[in-house]
Amino acid sequence: MAAPATAPNLSRRGFLTGAKPQAFRPAPPGVTAISVARCTGCGDCVSACPQDILRIIEGRAAIDFGNGHECTFCNACADACPEPVFTERPVMAHVLTITDTCLARRGTTCMSCRDACPESAIRMIPRIGGPFLPELDAAACTGCGACLAPCPVDAIALTPKEPADEYA
């Protein structure tokens, strides 16, 4: 399965000069833009993660939902980290969005994301003349990634939370 889509952040100049957009690498829960600088890339959090979703990418801990597992917020990564990287609040630095490649938005009935969400943050809105459409409740979404693997068309994207300076 392909990696989940991420929204590109490329300026006009970058587009015209052929620059590649910088990939968004979601940080583990509770890692902020300030605290991520303390990460030494030792890999202790990677070894401790029972879901096997953490990787060291470019010298920093990052979440990789590619194995189909989600974050359970067990705090094993924070407990294993020898540096003050993790905050007391285990929140994600990203939000999930449902893109236009969604099967339901293209006229095919699909409720895979809703069925997989442990927080019931995705609900299906009825519409006349077509399948129910998914609607994401951003306040209820924890960013755990449970909805990513079940989506047959990779229509769920990870995007950085705003304000960008609060979380990595």
Q: Which pLDDT score is estimated for 10?
A: 54
Distance of CA 84 to CAs 11, 114, 120, Å?
34, 35, 32
Q: Which pLDDT score is estimated for 62?
A: 93
pTM of the full predicted structure? Answer: 0.78
Give the separation between CA 43 and CA 47, rounded to whole angstroms: 6
**pLDDT-derived band at 4, boundaries 50, 70, 90:** very low
CATH number of 24-160: 3.30.70.20
Q: Is the pLDDT of residue 45 over 50?
A: yes
**pLDDT-derived band at 163, boundaries 50, 70, 90:** low
Rounded to the nearest angstrom, the gap between the alpha carbon of residue 97 and the centroid of all alpha carbons in its chain is: 9
User: Which one is predicted more confidently, 32 or 113?
Assistant: 113
Q: Is the pLDDT of residue 123 over 80?
A: yes
Q: Is the pLDDT of residue 131 over 70?
A: yes
Give the separation between CA 51 and CA 74, rounded to whole angstroms: 10
**Mean pLDDT score across all residues of the chain:** 85
The torsion of the CA quartet 134, 8, 119, 130, rounded to 10 degrees, works out to 10
User: Which one is predicted more confidently, 163 or 160?
Assistant: 160
Q: Which pLDDT score is estimated for 88?
A: 84
* Residue 38 DSSP code: G
Q: Is the pLDDT of residue 91 over 60?
A: yes
Number of H helices, E strands in the chain: 4, 6
Give the separation between CA 87 and CA 106, rounded to whole angstroms: 40
For 141-167, what is the mean pLDDT?
Answer: 83
| pLDDT winner (highest mean) among 7-16, 23-32, 49-58 | 49-58
The helix (run of H) or strand (run of E) holding residue 148 is none
